Amino acid sequence: MAETSRLAGTKRGRGDEEIGADSNSNADSDPRQALGLENNLTFSDTLVALQMMRSQFPSVEKVTIQPFILQSQLYSSVKDRTQVDRDLESLKKEKVLRVFKLSTGQDDHAIMFMEDYLKQMASSVKRFEKEKQHDLEVFEWFKTYVMESKLDVCIAHQELCSLLSHGGEVTDRHVTLLISAGLLTRQLIDPNMYWFAIPNIGSILKGLSQGRKELLSLLNRRKYKEMPLAPLEKKRLRLSPLDMRFHLRDLIGSGHLKSLQTPAGIIVRVAKD
Amino acid sequence: MRGRRCGRKSGTGKQVLYSPFLWSDVSAPAASPLSSSPTARRSSAPTTAPSTPFSGIKAAVMFINATAGLAGIWWATINAAKMHVDLTEGRYLLSGASDGSAAVYDIQHTTDYDGGLIAKHKNLFVVDKQHNHGHKFAISTAIWYPIDTGLFITGSFDHHVKVWDTNMIQVVMDFKMPGKVYGTAMSSIATAHMLIATGSADVQVRLCDIASGAFTHTLSGHRDGVMSLEWSTSSEWILMTGGCDGAIRFWDIRRAGCFCVLDQSRSQLGRRPPFSQGTPKRVLEDFIASTVSTGKSSFEKTPVSQKRMPVGNGKKQLTTSRKNQNVSGGPSTQRLHPGMSSSHNRATAHYGAVTGLRATSDGMYLLSSGSDSRLRLWDIESGCNTLVNFEAMRLQTSKAIQLAAFQDSSLVFVPSMASVKAYDMWSGTNLGTFRGHYELVNCCYFNLQDQELYTGSNDRQILVWSPSIPAVTVMEEDDKKGQTLSTDRDNWSD
């Protein structure tokens, strides 16, 4: 089976230069490079891959959101998935980044660098401050006590209260404030557990799931369910604010699409099973 | 989540045979009426060399996809749901199907050949709905009695677990469960008990005793049905269960409550945690924190119960003092038995239901598959997720699947939709895909003695996969022209 592994695809278009793995700061300066997946994505390091993809995060007009990376995108750009998982685990412990479980799909996770998340949190808190509500000190407590010590994707109510109480008296109003700010979400299966969440991300997630469906249906409608990468990348998705490259990486990493190396370039095909 | 059977196709039932033969002596193949003439087990491969190194899987899988690596096909009028090869001889394959029938096949003797290359096996007997004590609904699990092939146990969605006598093809014992039976398991290393652990749609795991014909005890702790069960391969008293709530619990059946709940967020990097990190804090902290403490007295109890735990857990630390301060005044103050407090532990091993469990033969690692389409490898001793990422697979979400693991070559076989994928156990790379079924594959079983993989699926077939012939042997056989059938030299009798 002549398929390249979806992980390390040398997605190089014709005539494009190869970008080294460390020139992530220049990635968007050249407009041609900013468009394409034609970069060489065989990163040996998870952190470098993360920083590269962070810099390639598309700019969304309506919502101000800091860059985040989906875990499936990471799998498609680093060769060894087990190593990715382990690197993520150690980066989580070092508090360089945080992982969030998304509500789109069974196993979707988003990775955000810590400074980006704090910025996002700050902008969401500012919105609350404008409305002049009291009890705003809970956000400070959250940042200082909960974020530092709880590194998982979810937290139990009991533990949340006990961690917040390091700052002061905790009431239910405080927890409600956190939920309405978007920092926590209740779990559907268990009323006592909360997921950590990225505030203001709702419209993006909607766009994510719709964009995935649109891209898959685009390829499924074709006769042989495949398309060369170069023209595919130039298409724009109608329903998603995120660009095609974001979705391609995500779907290749989660196994819905496969990329194959052919004499005519790279071809993206819907995976059969 | 309740198991739903998808693609339910019942056969026409025309292959029912109640052949009136008896196993006078299970170990003598000559007594079986089927071995009339020495027939080859496999037509296109030499049947010797059980030492064919299965690490040659890399060569084998390429062949399997291209040519007939299929050594045999069993034509059956069933959707194979679960299968089991007996452990004493490795000769009889028991499979249960969704039309309520269970059949036994002799995997070392073929009955005829299809086109000269593919061997076909007919079943030795079938028990189905027409049998006066047969199951009425789909059979979800079928296992052999671990000591010999005189008994086998089937569990079905009609809430019954039946123990059958193989020679008489009669039910000797019948246990009624409160819900649909999803899985049964018997420990193959048990010497002091003969308990069948059964998991059903009810939240409790029941242990049925063949010796007395009654339930010995129930294990509670799961919050939803129990879909998969597996006895430990290193201790006859330890049972591992995976539930529809996503939790995997370890039970020592000699005491109440489970002693470990696997949590997917507790992980270790690599197969063993580095020694310098110290002994990992076990789930003890969680259950101490979740035990609503009334005062110091309940904490004093816990060190005592610690010492009665089985051997492997003796060295766990108690970090009680730190957790004590963190537990702020919660709701009601009930004193719980320390063993039962783990029912408060809500750690999940998967984001969906746990659909399959398989322990490695050395008893150190556990593989679990979930309906979130992830396969996780757990280190049993530390209770941590080893973070091995098995590349993207899509698993069926509504019913239990049967995994196979072969530790000597570090292989894991997972039925993934309509194919079976083989992975390397420690790195998670996909070594190959076995595509031969037309519909969803439900179960796969790896036979260590013959080094064959049996897979059963909804398309009513059980396929046998074996490593392809090494190239050297092929060249030797070219010299002998026209000899496509090689004889099974072990199959002789006076």
In chain B, domain spans? 59-68+76-92+181-271+342-467
Chain A residues with CB-CB distance to B419 below 8 A: 273
Mean pLDDT of B300-311: 37
State residue A37's pLDDT score.
Answer: 57
Range of the domain at A191: 129-196
pLDDT, mean of residues B232-258:
90
User: How many C-beta atoms lie closer than 10 Å to residue A95's C-beta?
Assistant: 11
C-alpha triplet A140, A145, A151: angle, nearest 5°: 120
Tell me the nearest-neighbour CA distance from A40 into chain B, angstroms: 21
Position B273 scores a pLDDT of 57
Do B389 and A193 count as a contact with CB atoms less than 8 A apart? Answer: no
Q: Which residues of chain A have pLDDT under 50?
A: 1-36, 39-41
What is the rounded distance in angstroms from the CA atom of residue A233 to the CA atom of residue A265? 13
State residue B196's pLDDT score.
Answer: 93
Q: Check whether B481 has a pLDDT greater than 80.
A: no
pLDDT at A210: 92
Same domain, A107 and A135: no
CATH assignment at residue A153: 1.10.10.10
- Statement to judge: residues A31 and A104 lie in one domain: yes
Count of C-beta atoms within a 10 Å radius of residue B176: 10
Predicted confidence at residue B274, as pLDDT, reads 55
Q: Per-residue pLDDT averaged across B250-267, rounded?
A: 86
Domain contains A13: no
Same-domain pairing of A53 and A99: yes
Closest CA to A24 of A14, A33, A15: A33
Whether residue B494 is predicted with pLDDT greater than 70 in this model: the reply is no
Same domain, A97 and A219: yes
B267 touches chain A (CB under 8 A): yes
| A101 and A35 housed in the same domain | yes
Q: Tell me, yes or no, if B391 comes closer than 8 A to chain A by beta carbon.
A: yes
Q: Give percent of chain B above pLDDT 70.
A: 61
| Shared domain check, A166 and A107 | no
Q: Which of A171, A196, A221 is the last residue of a domain?
A: A196
Residue A104 sits in the same domain as residue A31 = yes
Whole-number pLDDT of residue B334: 55
A76 and A94 co-located in one domain: yes
- Residue A233 within a domain: yes
Quick one: average pLDDT of B295-308? 36
Q: Does B416 touch chain A (CB under 8 A)?
A: yes
For residue B312, what is the DSSP state?
A: G
pTM of the predicted model, to two decimals?
0.71
A181, A196, A211 - which closes a domain: A196
Question: Is the predicted pLDDT of residue B197 greater than 90, yes or no?
Answer: yes
Q: Which residues pair with B370 in a beta bridge?
A: B354
Q: Count other Cβ atoms within 10 Å, centred on residue A24.
A: 19
Q: CA A2: distance to chain centroid?
A: 30
B299 vs B103 pLDDT, higher one: B103
Q: What pLDDT does B81 receive?
A: 64
- Residue B230, class by beta-carbon neighbours within 10 Å (0-12 exposed, 13-18 middle, 19+ buried)? buried
Question: Bigger pLDDT: B305 or B267?
Answer: B267
Predicted pLDDT at B486: 54
C-alpha distances (whole Å) from B421 to each of A46, B311, B430 are 26, 36, 7
| CB-CB contact of A93 with A56 (8 Å) | no
pLDDT at B90 over 80: no
User: What pLDDT, on the 0 to 100 scale, is given for residue B171?
Assistant: 92
Q: Does B417 touch chain A (CB under 8 A)?
A: yes
Q: Are A167 and A141 in contact (CB under 8 A)?
A: yes
Q: Which residue has the higher pLDDT, B168 or B312?
A: B168
Residue A230 domain flag: yes
| pLDDT surpasses 60 at B315 | no
Q: What is the DSSP letter of A143?
A: I
* Alpha-helical runs (H) found in B197-310: 284-290, 296-307
Q: Residue B480: is its pLDDT beyond 60?
A: no
Mean pLDDT of B327-355: 66
Is A82 in contact with B328 (Cβ distance < 8 A)?
no
Residue A2 inside a domain? The answer is: no
Number of domains in chain A: 2
Which has the closest alpha carbon to A244: A258, A255, A229? A229
Q: What is the pLDDT of residue B251?
A: 92
> Strands B375-379 and B365-370: what pairing?
antiparallel
Architecture of domain B59-68+76-92+181-271+342-467: 7 Propeller (2.130)
Mean pLDDT, chain B, as a whole number? 69
- pLDDT at B238 exceeding the cut of 70: yes
CB atoms within 10 A of CB B239: 24
What pLDDT shows up at residue B162?
93
**Residue of chain A with shortest Cα separation from B61:** A1
**Residue B441 confidence (pLDDT) above 50:** yes
ipTM here:
0.76
Nearest CA in chain B to A93: B267
Please tell me the distance in Å from A218's CA to the nearest CA on chain B: 21
pLDDT band at B58 (very low <50, low <70, confident <90, very high): very low
